[in-house]
Amino acid sequence: MTTLRPVEDGSLFVDAAVGETTALCASACAHCGRVEFPRRVLCPACGSACTPRELRGPARLRVLTAVLAPPPGAKVPAPYEVGVAEFDEGICVIGLVDGPVAKGDTVRPVVHQPYEGGRIFAFRRVD
Amino acid sequence: MQNVFVGGVGIHPFGRFECSYRELGEFAARDCLSDAGVRPEEVDHVFVANVGAEMAKGHNVMDRVARIGVPIINVEAACASSGSALYLGAKLIEGGGADIVLCIGVEKAPKGFIAASGFDAWQIDNGLGVNPMYFAIQAQELIDSTDVTAADLADVSVKNHRHAIDNPNAMFRRPVSREKVLGSRLICPPLTLLMLCAPNEGAAATLLMSRRAAKQRGLTDLVRLSGAGLVSRGPDNWFVPAPSYPATRSSLTSRAARVALDDAAVDIADVDVVECQDTDAASELIAYADLGLCAPGEEASLLRSGATTLGGRIPVNVSGGLLSKGEPLGASGLGQVHELVQQLRGRCGTRQVEGARVGLGHVMGAGHNSCVVVVNR
């Protein structure tokens, strides 16, 4: 019988000081190579075991949009921008952006504080 | 499917009302039973689709109709809830498990952004648990990968609002101009308020009948539910609430459409009228290619040609779609079926698609899942 192991510590990104670059805690399937974020223990495509994979970028900001009215439950004050970063590992991750960015920019994940006491990854342009 | 017929359809208009969801559901159920000429006690089985009401919602709706003592099963699959209920009813009849099945969809959704769409706490806290943001990402990718422009997105809304003018079941029945759509409040770029459907209230119902029951009743001219495809998220699909997606993804709608069309032994070219999930204007354009109405990349051309406008080759959302009707989540799919069946019966007045014999309905919901159904004469 298969015993399910817990998903590492459940972290979305490697902890660092606010504003520092970070890595997203993804996983890669040992069998089919599929990369998943957030990290998975077993591959949702083929069921094989996954190993941790860190997504550090650089990535391409594939989509840039924004949320202009406050959505239910959000602690981030609206309006704010949202981007999709496409990593070389073949995965696109939705996240907040840190600082001015444009679609097509090269970005890296950084630790971001979008509201008092909050801490999350965001995408920042690489100059 | 060979043995499933639509005995009747019913609807409570979509909009905002001073009554409970139970009353909305009761209204649609009675409207449907009346249309079918079936008494409540003749129903073998009931499926009730709803997303946000309470426990035992179908039971509470049916308690107002009649206490018929048969199985009542509540179905929830986000925006595909009532498509899923219809799918279950059809499969139950096709498998010989029932002769008469009543499917009801009902919703009383609050105004504004839909909450509780399955997002994790970190997504909600950080403002990433936002449905229209997902639609905007799809819209932006559509614009980047095809020749679709913001004006095309506006024109989808213009088209559907024009279609709705004579639909008494739609919430928004005033025509809008491209300029008004583009100039309405920006919600999530590139989507403006009038490019997004409004969650609202309403109910719809479909009574399904086996070939045997139809024959016993001497009903020889019923619309047939000939195909149903219900699929859920595979490894390469993405939608609300997933926080990431593969750089190359595939279409869930395409899979559902393939299953439904194969089931019906119908080619998409033979479909006369389509009701699709226009949660937002881009979603309708994406559905064009996903359903096979055009090749990928030809979405804008198809729209601009007028083919999907009433009077065109393959009219889409002649009811006004969700953009004009609003979206009572649990009722939207059966609302589509109501329109398609009335179209096939030739009862749609000024918005009638002349000679319509094959209709296709498509819903897609969070989770992620999609249901496509084919009805024909």
> Which tens digits make up the pLDDT trace of B189-201?
999 999 999 999 9
Could you read off the pLDDT of B118-169 as tens digits, one per residue? 999 999 999 999 999 999 999 999 999 999 999 999 999 999 999 999 999 9
* pTM of the predicted protein model: 0.96
Q: Is the ipTM of this complex over 0.90?
A: yes
Q: What is the pLDDT of residue B114?
A: 80
Give CA–CA dist B9/A38, Å, rounded. Answer: 44
Q: Which residues pair with A83 in a beta bridge?
A: A64, A95
Find the residue in A nearest to B137 (Cα).
Answer: A63
B48, B32 Cβ separation under 8 angstroms = no
Where do we find the tokens 């279409």?
Answer: B251
Six-digit token pair at A104?
Answer: 């097509």
B-chain residues near A65 (CB < 8 A) = 133, 136-137, 140, 188-190
User: Judging by DSSP bridges, how do beta strands B45-49 and B4-15 pair with one another?
Assistant: unpaired
Q: Give A3's pLDDT tier (boundaries 50, 70, 90).
A: low
Q: Give A1's pLDDT tier (boundaries 50, 70, 90).
A: very low
Six-digit token pair at B3?
Answer: 């043995």
Calculate what percentage of chain B has a pLDDT beyond 70: 100
The DSSP string of B253-266 is HHHHHHHHHHHHT-
Q: What is the pLDDT of residue A7?
A: 46
Q: What is the pLDDT of residue B112?
A: 79
Asked if the Cβ–Cβ distance from B115 to A73 is below 8 Å, we say yes
Q: In what order do the strands lie in the sheet with A50-55?
A: A35-36, A24-29, A50-55
Could you read off the pLDDT of A9-63 as tens digits, one per residue? 679 999 999 999 999 999 999 999 999 999 999 999 999 999 999 999 999 999 9
B12, B24 Cβ separation under 8 angstroms = yes
Could you read off the pLDDT of B330-347 as tens digits, one per residue? 999 999 999 999 999 999
Substitution target in A37, A43, A61, A82 with the highest count of B β-carbons within 10 Å is A82
Q: What is the phi/psi pair of residue B99, to 5°? A: -105, -35
How far, in whole angstroms, is CA B143 from its chain's centroid?
A: 24
Could you read off the pLDDT of B156-199 as tens digits, one per residue? 999 999 999 999 999 999 999 999 999 999 999 999 999 999 99
Give CA–CA dist B361/B338, Å, rounded. Answer: 10
How far, in whole angstroms, is CA B270 from its chain's centroid?
A: 20
Q: Looking at the predicted structure, is the pLDDT value of residue B75 above 90? A: yes
Asked if the Cβ–Cβ distance from B137 to A94 is below 8 Å, we say yes
Q: Which residues of B are catalytic?
A: 79
Q: Looking at the predicted structure, is the pLDDT value of residue A6 above 50? A: no
State how far residue A110 is from chain B, nearest Cα, in angstroms.
15
A-chain residues near B143 (CB < 8 A) = none
State how far residue B46 is from chain A, nearest Cα, in angstroms.
34
Look at residues B75, B140, B78 and name the one whose alpha carbon lies nearest to residue B363: B78
